[in-house]
Amino acid sequence: MQRAWWSGYGTKESSGRLQWRNIVFRPDFFPVQRSVEYKTSAEEDAAAMACALYVTVDCSRTQRIKRRATFPEKKSKVSKIKGRSKKVKICQISLPQLETSTSDSIVSLTVGSKRHRDEFYNVSCEQLANKLLGEVLVRRLEDGTVLRGRIVETECYLGGEDRASHSYRGKVTERNKPMYMKPGTAYVYFTYGMYHCFNISSMEPGGCVLLRAVEPLQGTEYMLSEREKRKKAPKDIVLDLTMSSCSALSNQKKNKSLKIHELCNGPSKLCISFNISKQSSNTRDLCSWEGMWIEPDQNDRVGPHNVVSCPRIGIDSAGFEWASKPLRFYIIGNPSVSRRDKVKEKQISKLASILAGK
């Protein structure tokens, strides 16, 4: 975890939140070795607001810990703000890793500043499923751990007439109510009595997009540890195996570690690796929640010629018509995809070669 040390003056508001002013940053935290200056008061207020997102402290108890931030009290000081004198605390703060950017002598601090806003999600279910491909899913845990992964596979569930959707024929239950909430709401449900699946609501009432697979980018050690905890025992164990063969099989299983592309190559594997559960993430607004959001990947944009559209997985009970509709989308050639449709891939490759020949 990267530590950022700050010092500044704080004033207690009626809500109990500590409002920071005159923030000074240690120069060794930033790549620019000079003190930070604010050219406008708006920039100073923006930095103060960024602190307030992470820091909530009762001034009467400076040792109280919130979000693993520490507040060693130094001394009291009287500061004049808008003509009024207030007794404030001078504290030194240790925070989890923050997103920072430098431009000349100005430093801006934001939490999920690159995240997609309401307009990104306010589209049809099928459009959203395609737009999400190549975007980055970001998960910030309570201890400050940050996980990132590129979305490489999605499925859309249209609601209404879609027999495979939880909201078929406009059905509304306590379980599926996030599907009817504002676009960009997380819908996490429990399935098979042991797994979670993570969806995002779209513009249509009852429409949502299931995230099926993610390519890990950051926090792979944490993801691996979470997956190792939930590893299933081999199904082909015979009860009358000798002790020696059991031991050999156990050692073989322990030595076989998951590969990076296997960490999130399925909807439940994704939820395990990113610590997404119904209790922690359901009904959350991805446009504002600090615990998870989606942001663009500026380095790798996905074009329509790189996307395979094919039938969804595991919905045969919905009938042939809806089970065969091409409502699953994935990035061709990405190893983190849960299941490839080789027939569709050959068709795309053949079409690409024809277009290239012209």
Q: Which residues contact 274 (CB under 8 A, 6 or more apart)?
A: 137, 139, 147, 149, 198, 214, 223, 264, 292
- Whether the predicted pLDDT of 2 surpasses 90: no
CB 121 within 8 A of CB 183: yes
Closest CA to 155 of 82, 208, 191: 208
CA distance 22 to 10: 9
pLDDT mean across residues, the chain: 74
- CATH 3.10.300.10 given to domain 118-232+260-301: yes
Q: What is the pLDDT of residues 193-251, one digit of tens each?
A: 899 999 999 999 999 999 999 999 999 999 999 999 887 644 443 334 444 445 544 54
Would the pLDDT of 73 be above 50? no
- Give the range among 101-105, 157-161, 292-296 with minimum mean pLDDT: 101-105
Dump pLDDT digits (tens) for 101-155. 433 222 334 556 789 999 999 999 999 999 999 999 999 999 999 999 999 999 9
Q: Determine the Cα angle at 50 with ends 110 and 291, to 5°.
A: 65
Q: What is the CA radius of gyration of the chain?
A: 25
Q: What was the pLDDT predicted at 110? A: 52
Burial classification of residue 324, based on how many CB atoms lie within 10 Å of its CB (0-12 exposed, 13-18 middle, 19 or more buried): middle
The whole-number pLDDT of residue 225 equals: 95
Taking the complete model, does pTM exceed 0.75, yes or no?
no
Query: Is residue 179 pLDDT above 60, yes or no?
Result: yes
Q: 156: which strand partners?
A: 209
The residue type of 19 is Q
Judge contact between 115 and 294, C-beta under 8 A: yes
Higher pLDDT, 54 or 283: 283
**CB count, 10 Å around CB of 298?**
8
